[in-house]
Structure 1
Amino acid sequence: MDLDQLDLNPRITAAIKKGRLKSVKEVLCYSGPDLQRLTSLPTHDVHYLLKVASRHLQGGRVLTALQLFQQREGFPEQHRRLSLGCPVLDQFLGGGLPLEGITDLAGRSSAGKTQLALQLCLTVQFPRQYGGLEAGAVYICTEDVFPSKRLWQLIEHQQQLRTDVPGEVVQKIKFSNHIFVEHAADVDALLECVRRRVPILLSRGMARLVVVDSVAAPFRCEYDAQALATRAKRLQSLGAALRGLSSTFRSPVLCINQVGRLSGCALSLGEAGLAGREGSS
């Protein structure tokens, strides 16, 4: 069975392949210490790998809905959502951002969209038991410069904001080292970034969250009302590329858009039918 079918952080998958392990059955032939030696993975990653691999081999049997629910409850580390770091918002979104699909966040100026995106860039770095994915984030700016000052303010207050996480855990995380910022001033640059540069970070396990702030800006600048068909086609290409990344690397994608007062001002992937879930801020 193909190792790429396992629900693993790309970092772990890369380590397995580097250790020249070619199948799920081959992984299960080794003990924990042997896998550590072959892959250079830490103990908790090896334990997680063995658990996922063994469950994958059992996946062919028919399960009832109750068994599926109990199985999910028995393995909380395999949650399929990224926490927002706020219980109220997590409950509203059914547990957080889905790991597969595009979440479209739209709202008026100064509604807090970027603030929420920055918090997610920090939340994704927390251990799984605290709602994170133990990886960094890619933040693609298309309109304004990256809000580094606001990011630092959030980092400085993480211990107060995340009282559910032990202080020593928060202190160990080098948040700013794992946020990769890209700037794309036009549609071609945005597509180039999504198709070429972002996959490198995701495939190496360096990031598990992609933020595009915002989708509308480059399209609004390049296409007028007479070029709606071309705009829609390019927007669909972007949506397909982002969905492909999310599906391949099991990484949530957050697209931010500003809603204007005039009808037709908002431009989102949801319009193209490509967003997995729409939200508002």
Structure 2
Amino acid sequence: MAADSDLEDLPGVGPATAEKLLDNGYDTYTSLAVASPAELSNTADVGESSAGDIIRAARNAADVGGFETGSTVLERRERIGKLSWQIPEVDEMLGGGVETQSITEVYGEFGAGKSQVTHQLAVNVQLPREQGGLEGSAIFIDSEDTFRPERIDDMVRGLEDDVIAATLEHREIEGGPNDEAALDVLVEDVLDKIHVAKAFNSNHQMLLAEKAKELAGESEDTEWPVRLVCVDSLTAHFRAEYVGRGQLAERQQKLNKHLHDLSRIADLYNTAILVTNQVASNPDSFFGDPTQPIGGNILGHKSTFRMYLRKSKGNKRIVRLVDAPNLADGESVMRVEGAGLKPE
């Protein structure tokens, strides 16, 4: 992380400007290098021309923004982690699990299990790597008042015995899968590593994404770096606040910036971004499923992986991979139980 004096080494950055940049989360050369002049101009209260000079200097100092070979890209992609759903059929469909450095969108109608997925992955991300986890903490941006610590408790206790045993050993908690005292400690420890914030409106939600970036940066070199950011739901506030076609352009613009902020966390800190999305009925659809995800092309293009959850009989849910850059479309089945998400 760059110190205040480091930022002042950049042309046009004095003590006051450096302080404004730090206050707004621009605490490294890399974070400045990937900013836009307009964005920086508004933040630091400098002209766009000066902002462009600052960004160019930061790019040179951080050595970003140039071309790189395909083998270098491959090397960076080898750092990508795969977060397991703990459901073999779904993990296989996803090529191993939810990817870091990507945005995964899960959409579906009310009661399809979207929030169950966010809760389960907030538990799974903390598991040892050999058990499909990423040994990291989670951030949960809650826009619909869906986060329930009791559900996390159920899901931790509902893990397979061998997973619980490995997790207890990894965290140096004495006891076994049937030891209630050990499970109580484990549940509390898991909850301690989920950072929850409730978003009251779309502007607050966007601010929380910036705060999440700060938290990810602060934790990067700790024992529990942030490896998952959940936003449940991504579109609820935007949908409620920007009603009608007249406000569509402004809504999409803000949603686009929000997605770019989340994408930046994914790229800078090797984090998986999981967003849930609502659906609307498409009256023009005569065949197939008439539901479509909210957010239009902006969300469609920005999401690396799109998954559609659909209700089936009883507690069964159909998990459909709708879009992925390197995977075939596919469908899997899972069950939503008291103990969490389980294979069919």
Superposition TM-score, scaled by structure 1 size: 0.67
Q: What do you get for the CA RMSD once the two structures are aligned?
A: 2.8
Which of 1 and 2 has greater Rg? Answer: 2
1:109 aligns with 2:110: yes
Q: Which amino acid aligns with 1:231?
A: R
Q: State the alpha-carbon separation in 1 of the partners of residues 139 and 304 from structure 2.
A: 19
Change (3 A) 1:62 1:251: closer
**C-alpha contact 1:202 1:249 (8 A) present in aligned 2:** yes
Change (3 A) 1:98 1:61: closer
Aligned to 2:275: 255
SS of the equivalent of 2:302 reads coil
Q: State the alpha-carbon separation in 2 of the partners of residues 252 and 182 from structure 1.
A: 18
Question: Which of structures 1 and 2 has the larger relative contact order (alpha carbons within 8 angstroms, sep 6+)?
Answer: 1
Change (3 A) 1:184 1:231: same
**C-alpha contact 2:256 2:298 (8 A) present in aligned 1:** no
Q: Over residues 63-113 of structure 1, what are the superposed CA-to-partner deviations in whole Å (9 max), with x where a residue is unaligned?
A: 7xxxx89xx7xxxxx553222222111101111111112101001111111
Aligned to 1:154: 155
1:223 aligns with 2:250: no
Matches within 5 A, 1:133-212: 133-160=134-161, 162=163, 165=166, 168-169=169-170, 172=173, 173=186, 174-195=189-210, 197-203=211-217, 204-205=219-220, 206-212=225-231
Give the structure with the higher percent helix. Answer: 1
Equivalenced residue count is 210
Matches within 5 A, 1:237-256: 237-256=257-276
**C-alpha contact 1:236 1:269 (8 A) present in aligned 2:** no
| C-alpha deviation, 1:121, in angstroms | 0.6
Aligned to 1:280: 308
Q: State the alpha-carbon separation in 2 of the partners of residues 143 and 119 from structure 1.
A: 17
Change (3 A) 1:202 1:167: closer
Q: State the alpha-carbon separation in 2 of the partners of residues 184 and 260 from structure 1.
A: 22
Q: Which amino acid aligns with 2:265?
A: L
Q: Over residues 167-207 of structure 1, what are the superposed CA-to-partner deviations in whole Å (9 max), with x where a residue is unaligned?
A: 64488452111001011121110111111x11222111342
**C-alpha contact 1:84 1:123 (8 A) present in aligned 2:** yes
| C-alpha deviation, 1:210, in angstroms | 0.3
Is there any run of 5+ residues in structure 1 with no aligned partner, and where? 1-59, 73-77
SS of the equivalent of 1:182 reads strand
Q: Which amino acid aligns with 1:222?
A: E
Q: Over residues 118-142 of structure 1, what are the superposed CA-to-partner deviations in whole Å (9 max), with x where a residue is unaligned?
A: 1111111112222221111001111
**C-alpha contact 1:194 1:242 (8 A) present in aligned 2:** yes
Superposition TM-score, scaled by structure 2 size: 0.55
Q: State the alpha-carbon separation in 2 of the partners of residues 239 and 190 from structure 1.
A: 11
**C-alpha contact 1:140 1:212 (8 A) present in aligned 2:** yes
**C-alpha contact 1:124 1:208 (8 A) present in aligned 2:** yes
1:234 aligns with 2:254: yes
Give the structure with the higher percent strand. Answer: 2
Q: State the alpha-carbon separation in 2 of the partners of residues 231 and 161 from structure 1.
A: 46
Percent identity of the aligned residues?
27
Q: State the alpha-carbon separation in 1 of the partners of residues 247 and 69 from structure 2.
A: 52
Is there any run of 5+ residues in structure 2 with no aligned partner, and where? 1-67, 174-185, 284-290, 310-344
**C-alpha contact 1:239 1:269 (8 A) present in aligned 2:** no
Q: Which amino acid aligns with 1:261?
A: S
Q: State the alpha-carbon separation in 2 of the partners of residues 153 and 237 from structure 1.
A: 35
Change (3 A) 1:171 1:118: farther
Aligned to 1:49: none
Q: Which amino acid aligns with 2:88?
A: P
**C-alpha contact 1:100 1:247 (8 A) present in aligned 2:** yes
Q: State the alpha-carbon separation in 1 of the partners of residues 70 and 297 from structure 2.
A: 35
